[in-house]
Amino acid sequence: MSFVTVTNVKKTFAKAEALSGVDVNFEAAEQYVIKGASGSGKSTLLYLIGGLDRASSGEISVGGKNLFHLGDDALALYRNNFVGFIFQFHFLLPSMNCLDNILLPAKIGGKDVNAAKKLGLELAETLKVSHCLEKFPYELSGGEQQRINIIRALSLRPKLLLCDEPTGNLDSENSKIVTNLLKSLAKEFKATLIVVTHDESVAKHFEQQLVMSDGCIVSK
Ligand SMILES: Nc1ncnc2c1ncn2[C@@H]1O[C@H](COP(=O)(O)OP(=O)(O)OP(=O)(O)O)[C@@H](O)[C@H]1O
């Protein structure tokens, strides 16, 4: 059985249909890229799978959980426990140093902060940002900020890693580094990785490529 199952999902904003009946499956611990023109529905699909928004109709199940049936609190728990999000802009909190930013999901979710810290320190070493942990986000370069963001997203060992244009504000060198990091960390954590991008230089690193057009998956 697939880890993520999307069945006839539609999403309408006001009168506009952003998703017009999407059917797609994602297997556990596999890696995917979703491509497609601007406005084709890529981010909308990613947000629905991540429980950041709800489908207008259809079903999404993740790890056997049907998101449609989860109430708001259960959906928030699902997001915190199950999903790591990485966006183009990092959303690190400017008033906290980077280590505190990394520990935030564990603190908010009432999880083992020491375990999150141990993992955070290990990943910071691997990603070569140990020297950034005591600094505030504004003191870091874009590439360093995105690596801290990745560590925060992985701090609770999510089974699903959802990335929306994760390299959108990086130069090509950092873009390549971040893409390779995402792939190798997802593999190490046995997480399902789904990356949305319209950047071919990022997409080419993925064997499994989906293409969206006008709210539908047109190629798998
Ligand atoms: N919150 C919203 N309110 C109204 N319309 C929205 C909202 N979010 C998305 N849309 C619309 O839904 C459609 C799909 O948007 P979406 O952001 O999913 O596309 P995308 O493929 O990710 O585009 P891009 O590559 O430009 O980020 C677009 O027409 C967009 O204007």
User: Does any ligand 1 atom lie closer than 6 A to the CB of residue 198?
Assistant: yes
DSSP state letter for 3: S
Supply the pLDDT for residue 87: 85
Angle at which helix 113-126 crosses helix 98-108, to 10 degrees, equals 140
- Looking at residue 173, its pLDDT comes to 84
DSSP 179-219: HHHHHHHHHHTT-EEEEE---HHHHTT-SEEEEEETTEEEE
pLDDT of residue 80: 87
Multiple choice CATH, 4-91+158-219, 1.10.10.10, 1.20.1250.20, 3.30.70.2860, 3.40.50.300: 3.40.50.300
Q: Whose CA is nearest to atom 17 of ligand 1?
A: 43
Low-confidence ranges of the chain (pLDDT < 70): none
Residue 40: partners with Cβ closer than 8 Å, 6 or more residues away: 212, 213, 214, 215
- Please give the model's pTM, rounded to 2 decimal places: 0.92
Q: Select from 6, 11, 13 the residue to mutate for testing ligand 1; criterion: most ligand atoms less than 8 Å from CB.
A: 13
Task: For ligand 1, atom 3, name the residue with the nearest CA.
Answer: 13
Per-residue model confidence as pLDDT tens digits over 6-32: 999 999 998 899 999 999 999 999 999
| pLDDT for res 196 | 96
Give the pair of three-digit tokens for residue 204: 């080419």
The Å distance, Cα 16 to ligand 1 centre, comes to: 10
- Residue located via tokens 């960390």: 185
Q: Would you state the pLDDT for residue 72?
A: 94
Residue 178 confidence (pLDDT):
85
| Rounded to 5°, angle at Cα 193 from 136 and 56 | 95
* Residue 13 CA, ligand 1 centroid: distance in Å: 9
* Protein residue whose Cα sits closest to atom 30 of ligand 1: 39
Q: Report domain extents, the chain.
A: 4-91+158-219
ipTM of the complex: 0.95
Pocket of ligand 1 contains residue 44 by CB under 6 Å: yes
Q: Does 36 contact ligand 1 (Cβ within 6 A)?
A: yes
What pLDDT is attached to residue 149? 92
